Structure 1
Amino acid sequence: MKYDFDRKVDRKQTNDMKWHSEAVASYLHREIPEEMIPMWLADTDFACAPVIVEALERRVKKEIFGYCAPMKSFYQAVNYWQKMRFGWDVKAEWITYLPSVVAGINIAVRTFTEEGDGVIIQQPVYDPFATIVKNDNRKVVNNGLVIRDGRFAMNLEELEMLAACPENKMLVLCSPHNPTGRVWTKEELTAVAEICLKHNVMIVSDEIHGDIIYEGHRQYPILSLDERYEQNFIHLTAPGKTFNVAGLKGSISIIPNKDIRDAFVKTQTAMSLDVKNTFGIEAVIAAYSPEGAEWARQEVAYMQSNVDFLEEFVKENMPGASMIRPEGTFLGWLDLSGLGLGDEEIFKRVVLEAAVICVPGPWFGPGGEEHLRINVGCPRSMLKEAMERIRSVLYR
């Protein structure tokens, strides 16, 4: 079956916050035009995979929605997916159901660090990383990305120094990286893991975009690279980004070390984050199937063509602007520093005048200045209209 990713779904008829100006205004603390094109929230605008829709319809017809728990089919689906996609044989007892990957990061920070400890993140990075660390009264320690040979890269020399500080207890890794779209190589991930093992720094790896990888690149779950890593680190993932089911609150932690897993689950329970979502369980099982895999393959191919369009559009129509091509994720990281406008003027023109809702670069921390994150997980016509609007206000 060939799936239609050009078809537009009217999300204004739902309570999806991405498409409601009131929700956007609350998020950005500004009044937002009704005729906006929302390219901000990291979900896609494609109709959900039919295999998931059908599974949810079957579950609705059972007419009762009490408390649920993952059963054998859930664990088999997670194992199937990890083995099929990444060659990683994940045991059922390693798996814990979570409401979200962000919740998993919060649980890990609270469990394995203490107030005042340093948590290393690699900015510019998904802004909840820093927010969680600050809200938990830990210290944000930035191991900022650098650009080498036209690609974003980790500063491993600095990471070694930061990891050697006894007060820095954890690294929250974004793999693939949001917002830059870097897909880390096996060699890079091994280097990071060895540094953290050497200095007893726990890695919590957010791999929620790990299924969205473009040609020429490969995703490696960091825990899968060495049995020693399985005993020291935490893997977090979900079908939410790939299949656009984030609202069903079905995410996963994979923690092979029983002592680490037991401590993690103890905090999860104390935070009342252990209740499972009836439909989230069904969505995971349906997504992590051969039918889900084929749908995801076609979706990623479509989004790669959107990346091609975006890259070409910026080169041909936006002098002074640039974009390092993403290797994965459905996110474009636009560098507008060559326009000399400054962050406030960029925000004013793009978000308030053009009504294209992108996430301002500074929200991702140092290195995000005069950048915008734009979501390419949408029908091509929507992406084209958004870029035409952006061009018109930046070069008026």
Structure 2
Amino acid sequence: MMQEQKESLCGFDRVFDRCRTHDLKWRQEGVEAYLNQKVRQDMIPMWIADMDFGCMDEIVKAVKGRADHGIYGYCAPGAEFGGHIAFWEKERFGWKISADWITALPSVVSGINIAIRAFSKEGEGIIIQTPVYDPFISIVKRTGRVPVFNPLKRKQSHYEMDFEGLERLASLPENRMLILCSPHNPVGRVWTEDELRRLAEICLKYDVKIVADEIHSDIVYPGHHHTPLLSLDPRYGQNFIHLSAPGKTFNVPGLKMSFSIIPDEENKKAFDTMQLAMSLDIRNTFGVECVSACYTENGIQWLDGLLKYLWNNAERVHEFVRTEMPKVTMEMPEGTFLCWLDFSGYGLTDEELLKRINLEAGVICVPGGWFGPGGEHHLRLNIGCQRKTLEEALQRIKEALD
């Protein structure tokens, strides 16, 4: 059994030279623009949420096959596009959907932008459960809406939703929407059915629309199960919006293909109309091919191997923190390929922490403060990398702190 597992994981140990491509994660200029500071040439980038693993063979073959055609005009996803998404939702989560509910999008972030503009007005409040994926806050501000913080409650290093605080905010007529991150980036929670139901019922009670970003839904570890919010009750599908993509699961964010699932006809019409108004209805030719290649039985098998590798990486980080950096606190992530590390035990300011880790050690992490209230003194570490890279990064962090 152990031998079989070792063989199934060896493909993820293959190292790719990403410095010779236009991959943002590994381009020094991109990282320096991101941090607004110079970084070491031998940096280890563990910041932006894409992985260093090669794509499954079926995706590479599909993209190459389409490239060989020689014409790359505008594309229109056919019935098979929605069929593959419906297959995946049924196989992975037991959620039976109709292909008619699906709208193709360039990205989940663009879907959030569309939903905010379609279902809220300037000056209205959008509830955000911080610390959370930083574009949530920036999108709300750029659309002229007001970020309304409903911070997660921390019990030691475990995070829970603040339902009492949420009900107070939802009861205010100016707060019209909540953006849900499920599974949660960066804290790694996979929300339970009970938590999701409680959240949904509060929002239904006060007519607050939920936009659910579920892009990490496939990256879930043993003992936990992701549940699409809309799958829990038909009423949720009439009021809320589901957003997802193969980008995180299959490491293809550059192919720019995501989707919304909106069962309610009027809501979908309003969403699609706003998408057209924003000129975000152009589809990526290779992204369409990717969906057909990855949302299959072969995709499920590939994902099983990925999850084992990522889980081993998460265990390694947790053990290293416990034995080598006891002043750092970390809870094992329930989902995502991101670790949320609390460095407050060192008594460093956020600026000092950033200088030690990102600049001196050259391990590029996302500063916790970028995720809003509750992110102070934290760093987000992307563990979607080869074990050799992870080990070097951990040693550098330890040496910088010592």
Q: TM-score, normalised by structure 1?
A: 0.99
Report what 1:312 is aligned to: 319
Partner-residue secondary structure (3-state), 2:148: strand
> Whole-Å Cα distance in 2 between the matches of residues 294 and 128 of structure 1?
32
> Whole-Å Cα distance in 1 between the matches of residues 120 and 307 of structure 2?
37
One-letter identity of the residue aligned with 1:153: E
Report what 1:77 is aligned to: 84
> Whole-Å Cα distance in 1 between the matches of residues 156 and 381 of structure 2?
23
Residue 229 of structure 1, aligned match among 221, 224, 236: 236
Question: Does structure 1 residue 2 correspond to structure 2 residue 8?
Answer: yes
CA contact (8 A) 2:157 2:330 kept: no
Identity of aligned residues (%): 56
Report what 1:239 is aligned to: 246
Partner-residue secondary structure (3-state), 2:198: helix
Q: Following TM superposition, by how much is the alpha carbon of 1:40 offset from its aligned partner in structure 2, in angstroms?
A: 0.2
> After superposition, where does 1:93-104 map in structure 2 within 5 Å?
93-104=100-111
Report what 1:203 is aligned to: 210
Q: Following TM superposition, by how much is the alpha carbon of 1:15 offset from its aligned partner in structure 2, in angstroms?
A: 0.6
> Whole-Å Cα distance in 2 between the matches of residues 121 and 58 of structure 1?
42
Partner-residue secondary structure (3-state), 1:96: strand
> Whole-Å Cα distance in 1 between the matches of residues 219 and 25 of structure 2?
21
The unaligned stretches of length 5 or more in structure 1 are none
Question: Does structure 1 residue 214 correspond to structure 2 residue 226?
Answer: no
> Whole-Å Cα distance in 1 between the matches of residues 305 and 326 of structure 2?
32
One-letter identity of the residue aligned with 1:2: S
Partner-residue secondary structure (3-state), 1:322: coil
Partner-residue secondary structure (3-state), 1:123: coil
Report what 2:335 is aligned to: 328
> After superposition, where does 1:1-396 map in structure 2 within 5 Å?
2=8, 4-148=11-155, 150-395=157-402
Range that drifts further, 29-38 or 185-194: 29-38
Q: Following TM superposition, by how much is the alpha carbon of 1:149 offset from its aligned partner in structure 2, in angstroms?
A: 6.7
Report what 2:4 is aligned to: none
Partner-residue secondary structure (3-state), 1:334: strand
Partner-residue secondary structure (3-state), 2:122: coil
Partner-residue secondary structure (3-state), 1:212: coil
> Whole-Å Cα distance in 2 between the matches of residues 281 and 219 of structure 1?
25
> Whole-Å Cα distance in 2 between the matches of residues 242 and 105 of structure 1?
19
Q: Following TM superposition, by how much is the alpha carbon of 1:150 offset from its aligned partner in structure 2, in angstroms?
A: 4.8
Q: Following TM superposition, by how much is the alpha carbon of 1:13 offset from its aligned partner in structure 2, in angstroms?
A: 1.6
> Whole-Å Cα distance in 2 between the matches of residues 290 and 151 of structure 1?
34
Partner-residue secondary structure (3-state), 2:154: strand
Root-mean-square deviation (CA, aligned residues, Å) is 0.9
Partner-residue secondary structure (3-state), 1:213: coil
Q: Following TM superposition, by how much is the alpha carbon of 1:64 offset from its aligned partner in structure 2, in angstroms?
A: 1.2
Q: TM-score, normalised by structure 2?
A: 0.97
Runs of 4 or more, structure 1, over 6 Å off, are none
> Whole-Å Cα distance in 2 between the matches of residues 256 and 319 of structure 1?
48
Partner-residue secondary structure (3-state), 2:309: helix
One-letter identity of the residue aligned with 1:160: E
> Whole-Å Cα distance in 2 between the matches of residues 45 and 351 of structure 1?
19
One-letter identity of the residue aligned with 1:236: L
One-letter identity of the residue aligned with 1:148: K
The unaligned stretches of length 5 or more in structure 2 are 1-6
One-letter identity of the residue aligned with 2:134: D
